Amino acid sequence: LGAGVRYVQGHRLAQGRFFEPEIDLDDETLRLTGVAVEAPGGTGWGVDLGLAVELGGGVRMSLAAQNVAQRMSWDEQLRSHEAVFTDDDFDSAELADLLDRFTDTPLEPSAVSLPVFEAARGLFTQAYFPTVYRAGLGWAGASGTRLEVNASAVSPRGRQSAPWEQRLSAGVEQRLKFLVLRAGYARAEDGINALTGGLGLRVGPIRLDVAAGK
């Protein structure tokens, strides 16, 4: 049985938006406004719990929860980056020059423009590290064979979660004197698959491993 406490240092949280183009029929020009709003930092914490049990006969089971309790707070002293582009910019300017045009200014809550307000809406929504549940079941035989199946699920799904955090995986290992052979397969949501293989060498205190995956 184990428990862990984690301190989180958030470096940057940003959200951007390009707004609908504005067309001036008098001078036949097009203007496009882009805005990004960022919180320059934040802090948080998380608590993890884990349990592993030997069931006998070489069978073991494990359960774990990452961020079973957690909190993330972001800076409310926001900064805004705003730029206006015309149709001439897209004809001649380089991408790096367009990005450099975004001005970095502190956001003043009492005098914020409508584009900045719209870009900042929902900035902190789901900006936390979600809880990840994991379960595993393994078996180790006397002949050096090992089998293991693992599953993980994410709930609730925050902005920081990734597709691979929701997956089912299985692996097998076979020891042959000083050699170790491994193979594994994993399937995640949205049809993501991974197939891996590995080879290990055990000579006294020396342990060498190589693996490849697709």
Q: What is the DSSP string of the chain?
A: -EEEEEEEEE--EEEEEEPPPEEETTTTEEEEEEEEEEE--EEEEEEEEEEEEEEETTEEEEEEEEEEEEEEEE-SS-EEEEEEEEHHHHHH--HHHHHHT-EEEE--GGG--HHHHHHHTTTTTT-SPPPEEEEEEEEE-TTSEEEEEEEEEESS--TT--GGGSEEEEEEEEEETTEEEEEEEEEEGGG-EEEEEEEEEEETTEEEEEEEE-
Q: Taking residues 108-116, what's their average pLDDT? A: 82
Q: How confident is the model at residue 33 (pLDDT cuts 50, 70, 90)?
A: confident
For the stretch 155-189, pLDDT in tens is 888 887 877 889 999 999 999 989 999 999 999 98
d(CA 175, CA 154): 34
For the stretch 55-107, pLDDT in tens is 999 999 999 999 999 999 999 889 988 888 887 776 666 766 766 777 778 88
pLDDT of residue 95: 66
pLDDT of residue 187: 96
pLDDT of residue 52: 97
pTM above 0.95, yes or no: no
pLDDT of residue 25: 82
Q: Taking residues 7-23, what's their average pLDDT? A: 89
For the stretch 113-170, pLDDT in tens is 888 889 888 898 888 888 999 999 999 998 899 999 999 999 888 887 877 889 999 9
